[in-house]
Amino acid sequence: MERTEQELMAEACATMRMYLDKAHAGYGRRFDMPHINFNLRGRTAGKAFYSYNEIRLNLVLFRENFEDFKARTIPHELAHIITHILYPHAKAHGREWKSVMRKLGGPTTRCHSYDISNSAVSVRKCYTVRCDCRTYQFTSIRYKRMLNGTTYTCRKCRSAVRAI
């Protein structure tokens, strides 16, 4: 059965509330419900934005991996926001984040293994550039900036990066 975007949003909110209740029980304090949207594309399943109290989810990956997404991705992103509130200077997937994940009852792994073949992945054209010690791949944006006068310097050999 194909779920609509509204059904998925309702399910994501209900799942988020369940994990927020676990956080409340575990930490003895309330956390605000993050704003959830489905405007994330590509390979990434979810992304947390602390300053906006926002979680962006990949609709395609949520639809295709419904149960696992609710058990892994949603608590993973919520744990980032809670970790930032409790420990503002903690590492993204450090021990504080893992501690929050354990309180939420989620796995402490950091990467998903979802099939991304149906997710909208943008293909970027890359350009090969060179310094004195090696070659690099630049995106079209950086490459055009370089052609228009922006200077890039290799951190290793300190020579100018140039087009091939």
Read off the pLDDT of residues 117-159 as tens digits, 9 standing for 90 and up.
Answer: 888 655 567 889 999 999 988 888 889 999 999 999 998 999 9
Beta bridge partners, 139, equal 126
Reported as a single tens digit per residue, the pLDDT across 104-123 is 999 998 888 888 888 865 55
In the residue annotation, 2 being an active-site residue is answered as: no
Q: Domain check: are 132 and 89 in the same one? A: no
What is d(CA 59, CA 69) in angstroms, rounded to the nearest whole number?
10
Looking up residue 87, the CATH number of its domain turns out to be: 3.30.2010.10
Catalytic pick among 5, 11, 67, 77: 77
Which helix or strand (DSSP H or E) is residue 141 part of?
A: helix 140-147
- Write out the residue range of the structural domain in which residue 20 sits: 5-104
Cα atoms in the Cβ-side hemisphere of radius 13 Å centred on 58: 22
Q: What end-to-end distance do the CA atoms of the chain give, in Å?
A: 52
Q: Domain check: are 40 and 96 in the same one? A: yes
What is d(CA 136, CA 2) in angstroms, rounded to the nearest whole number?
43
* 95 three-class SS: helix
What is d(CA 18, CA 24) in angstroms, rounded to the nearest whole number?
10
Q: What is the pTM of this model?
A: 0.73
DSSP state of 160: B
Residue with tokens 């690099």: 136
